[in-house]
């Protein structure tokens, strides 16, 4: 006989993002509902020799707002973005207006991951390498994956769990799921969690292009990310951060916090198949969605919307749709889905952070941002992808999928509160 495990409810009480569709959550949400793409030509380096010349670059981000000038040069740009998003989430949750006690800070942690970390810093340092006596003491702390969490914990005085996850494109979703569990099982009361990435440089673009993973629709950047369309030809690399404040439900309620959604379920799975290709029938995706629903204690029919991983690669989209059919059966015909990567591109380790925010806003408002560029839907992607125009749904639960290289999968289920 197993002992029932006491599990606390966890809610999202603050959101923050920096991405190609907006420098905050409100601007992003408005642009996504309107179907506006944030993709454009790469203007940060000479792309003449590159097969892929387009990306989702963050435009107009000013780190001065959230990072002391002296500190800025000690951080890779992925940490700048993380602290930008963290600041918005912190203020949004109202923590700029309350003085947390020492005891409260000791159970408030940070869990911000990154798929790759400071590749731009590595590139710059290696290019300008002038020997060991000229390597900056800030080189390592500015680029390692967990320093987004580390810097955020220092900035806000958060002394609870301080960790990070690096599961490629599933990073943000895993970070939020893991952090929610820390709260659910009593290891923390509040967590700042999400993901951040920025690798739009020669190594990042060249590396992903070498895998033939990127779209080369260079002449039409805004039409390049086209999940579920027959003419999709790869993902569009993007950058930014997506971070949420997670909080134990009773504490959030007691302080009158604004609640976006409850983190009701979380699943994890491994493909055990190939370093970059999904398992042949999307079995890893199937298992992760089932695991999340089991964790939430719900039936497939209760899920009304899925923010899909949907990166716009020929194989990935097809297999994720197949997985949805296998998992949801008849309900797959009714469930609404979309891939907002059609607009903001693929933020890699930050994707799950941003898309959890999008899913939370969908649950809260009943609105679904569209999948844009669906001119000719692939018959092998036979689900209601909310093509080209925003939609609505009326259900208590929504799902967010994130799949990463290495065959790692995450699925979050959010519930309307």
Find the part of the chain contacting other proteins (CB under 8 A) among 25-33, 135-143, 227-235, 301-309: 135-143
Structure-block tokens of residue 312: 């716009």
Site string for other proteins, 77-116 (x = CB under 8 A): ----------------------------------------
Q: Residue 74 or 364: which CB sits closer to other proteins?
A: 74
Q: Residue 62 or 388: which CB sits closer to other proteins?
A: 62
Q: CA-CA distance, 197 to 130, in Å (whole number)?
A: 27
Structure-block tokens of residue 335: 């469930």
The answer to whether the beta carbons of residues 115 and 197 sit under 8 Å apart is yes
Q: From the list 45, 129, 138, 185, which residue makes contact with other proteins (rule: CB under 8 A)?
A: 138
Dihedral angle sign, alpha carbons of residues 342, 345, 348, 350: negative
Q: Residue 138 or 185: which CB sits closer to other proteins?
A: 138
The tokens 């970390």 sit on which residue?
117
Smallest distance, other proteins to C-beta of residue 159, A? 19
Cα distance between the two ends of the chain: 33
- CB count within 10 Å of CB 81 equals 30
Q: Residue 6 or 69: which CB sits closer to other proteins?
A: 69
Q: CA-CA distance, 27 to 272, in Å (whole number)?
A: 39
Dihedral angle sign, alpha carbons of residues 294, 299, 304, 308: positive
Backbone angles phi, psi at 137, to 5 degrees: -65, -15
Q: Residue 140 or 315: which CB sits closer to other proteins?
A: 140
The shares of helix, strand and coil residues in the chain, as percent rounded to the nearest 5, are: 40, 20, 40
Q: From the list 30, 43, 46, 68, which residue makes contact with other proteins (rule: CB under 8 A)?
A: 68
Backbone angles phi, psi at 272, to 5 degrees: 50, 50
**Position 70 contacts other proteins (CB under 8 A):** yes
What residues numbered 162-191 form the site for other proteins, per CB under 8 A? none
Smallest distance, other proteins to C-beta of residue 70, A? 4
Smallest distance, other proteins to C-beta of residue 69, A? 4
Q: Say whether 217 sits in a helix, a strand or coil.
A: coil
Residue 113 burial class via C-beta count within 10 angstroms: exposed 0-12, middle 13-18, buried 19 and up: buried
CA-angle at 159, arms to 155 and 161, nearest 5°: 115
Smallest distance, other proteins to C-beta of residue 76, A? 15
**Position 62 contacts other proteins (CB under 8 A):** no
With contacts defined by CB under 8 A, how many residues of the chain interact with other proteins? 10
Find the part of the chain contacting other proteins (CB under 8 A) among 62-70, 271-279, 291-299, 322-330: 62-70
Catalytically active residues are 169, 309, 346
Site string for other proteins, 309-348 (x = CB under 8 A): ----------------------------------------
23: CB partners within 8 A, 6+ apart: 58, 60, 61, 84
Site string for other proteins, 139-158 (x = CB under 8 A): --x-----------------
The answer to whether the beta carbons of residues 347 and 197 sit under 8 Å apart is yes
Q: From the list 6, 97, 102, 134, which residue makes contact with other proteins (rule: CB under 8 A)?
A: 134
Find the part of the chain contacting other proteins (CB under 8 A) among 46-54, 130-138, 146-154, 361-369: 130-138
Q: Say whether 386 sits in a helix, a strand or coil.
A: coil
Q: From the list 136, 376, 388, 392, which residue makes contact with other proteins (rule: CB under 8 A)?
A: 136
Enumerate binding residues for other proteins (CB under 8 A).
68-70, 74, 133-134, 136-138, 141
């Amino acid at each position: 006989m197993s002992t029932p495990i006491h599990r606390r409810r966890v809610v999202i009480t603050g959101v923050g993002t920096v991405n190609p569709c907006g420098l905050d959550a409100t601007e992003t949400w408005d642009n996504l509902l309107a179907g506006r793409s944030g993709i454009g030509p790469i203007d940060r380096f000479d792309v003449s020799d590159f097969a892929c010349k387009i990306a989702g670059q963050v435009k107009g981000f000013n780190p001065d707002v959230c990072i002391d000038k002296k500190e800025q040069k000690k951080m890779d740009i992925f940490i700048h973005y993380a602290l930008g998003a963290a600041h918005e989430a912190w203020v949004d949750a109202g923590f700029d207006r309350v003085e947390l006690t020492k005891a409260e800070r000791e159970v408030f942690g940070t869990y911000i991951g990154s798929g790759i970390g400071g590749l731009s810093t590595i590139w710059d340092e290696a290019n300008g390498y002038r020997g060991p006596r000229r390597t900056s003491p800030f080189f390592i702390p500015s680029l390692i994956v967990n320093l987004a969490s580390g810097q955020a914990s220092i900035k806000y005085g958060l002394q609870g769990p301080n960790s990070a996850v690096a599961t490629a494109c599933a990073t943000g979703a895993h970070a939020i799921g893991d952090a929610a569990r820390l709260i659910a099982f009593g290891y923390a009361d509040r967590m700042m969690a999400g993901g951040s990435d920025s690798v739009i440089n020669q190594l990042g673009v060249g590396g992903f292009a070498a895998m033939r993973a990127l779209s080369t629709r260079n002449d039409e950047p805004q039409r390049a990310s086209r999940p579920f369309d027959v003419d999709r030809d790869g993902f569009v690399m993007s950058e930014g951060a997506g971070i949420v404040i997670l909080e134990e439900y009773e504490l959030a309620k007691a302080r009158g916090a604004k609640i976006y959604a409850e983190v009701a379920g979380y699943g994890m799975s491994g493909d055990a198949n190939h370093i970059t290709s999904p398992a042949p029938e999307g079995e890893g995706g199937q298992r992760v969605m089932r695991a999340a629903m089991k964790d939430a204690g719900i039936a497939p029919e209760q899920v009304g919307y899925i923010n899909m991983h949907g990166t716009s690669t020929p194989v990935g989209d097809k297999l994720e749709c197949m997985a949805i059919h296998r998992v949801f059966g008849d309900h797959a015909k009714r469930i609404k889905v979309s891939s907002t990567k059609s607009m903001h591109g693929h933020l890699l380790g930050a994707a799950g952070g941003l898309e959890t925010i999008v899913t939370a806003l969908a649950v809260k408002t009943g609105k679904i941002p569209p999948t844009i560029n669906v001119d000719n839907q692939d018959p092998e992607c036979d689900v209601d992808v909310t093509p080209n125009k925003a939609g609505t749904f009326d259900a208590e639960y929504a799902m967010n999928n994130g799949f990463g290289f290495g065959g790692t999968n995450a699925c979050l289920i959010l519930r309307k509160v």
